[in-house]
């Protein structure tokens, strides 16, 4: 367990992560065209996402993600980009980081990819000295909520009118937390 005075290491969060044929690679320009195509495989999901990554929305969404402190990963399976995920707003002083901004193509859902990906990120965050991981999920996105509960996270709060999404929807956000003690 990390001591309360330990400071988390931001540099180690940016390392590529791997589990067999699944890799999380820091997002680079070489990933963007195939990521854009992957995002187009499920146009309906973007209705409950904070930002759309479809068509003309893709480049502004990537720019917006890059403007938030953290690390963005391309999710790659067997050499093909199948999605995106991120560490968001890491706070090394408090030892807290959020995992979010996740999308994977429909064919990879319910295959264990999301769990493998999240476990890699959780293990890396804790190994980097973070003691708490947060997940902020639209209350309408029940599949995502179920997935983080399977990882051992606890629903801690419902934050009402937490943000306005790209569609103009005023979103209520479920806050989930996972501590290092919960993970062990």
pLDDT exceeds 50 at position 6? yes
Task: Give CA–CA dist 80/27, Å, rounded.
Answer: 13
pLDDT at 85: 97
pLDDT exceeds 80 at position 1? no
The phi, psi pair for 115, rounded to 5°, reads: -65, -45
pLDDT tens sequence across 115-129: 999 999 999 999 999
CB 34 within 8 A of CB 105: no
Task: Classify each residue of 30-50 as buried b or exposed e, where b means 16 or more C-beta atoms within 10 Å of its C-beta.
Answer: ebeeebbebbeeeeebbebbb
The pTM for the full model equals 0.91
Give 116-148 as a DSSP string: HHHHHHHHHHHHTT--EEEEEEETT-HHHHHHH
pLDDT exceeds 50 at position 163? yes
**Beta-carbon count within 10 A of 170 CB:** 10
pLDDT exceeds 60 at position 133? yes
- pLDDT averaged over the chain? 92
**All domains of the chain, ordered by start, with CATH?**
10-183 (3.40.630.30)
The full length of the chain comes to 184
């Amino acid at each position: 367990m990390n001591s309360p005075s330990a400071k988390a290491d931001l540099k180690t969060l940016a390392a590529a992560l791997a589990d067999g044929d699944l890799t999380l690679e820091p997002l680079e320009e070489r990933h963007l065209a195939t990521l854009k195509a992957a995002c187009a495989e499920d146009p309906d999901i973007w209705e409950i996402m904070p930002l759309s990554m479809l068509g003309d929305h893709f480049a502004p969404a990537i720019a917006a993600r890059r403007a938030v402190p953290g690390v963005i990963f391309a999710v790659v399976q067997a050499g093909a980009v199948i999605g995106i995920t991120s560490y968001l707003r890491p706070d090394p002083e408090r030892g807290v980081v959020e995992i979010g901004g996740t999308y994977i193509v429909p064919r990879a859902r319910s295959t264990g990819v999301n769990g493998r990906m999240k476990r890699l990120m959780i293990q890396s965050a804790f190994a980097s000295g973070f003691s708490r991981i947060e997940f902020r999920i639209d209350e309408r996105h029940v599949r995502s909520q179920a997935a983080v509960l399977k990882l051992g996270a606890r629903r801690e709060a419902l934050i009402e009118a937490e943000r306005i999404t790209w569609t103009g929807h005023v979103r209520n956000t479920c806050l989930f937390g996972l501590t290092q003690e919960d993970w062990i």
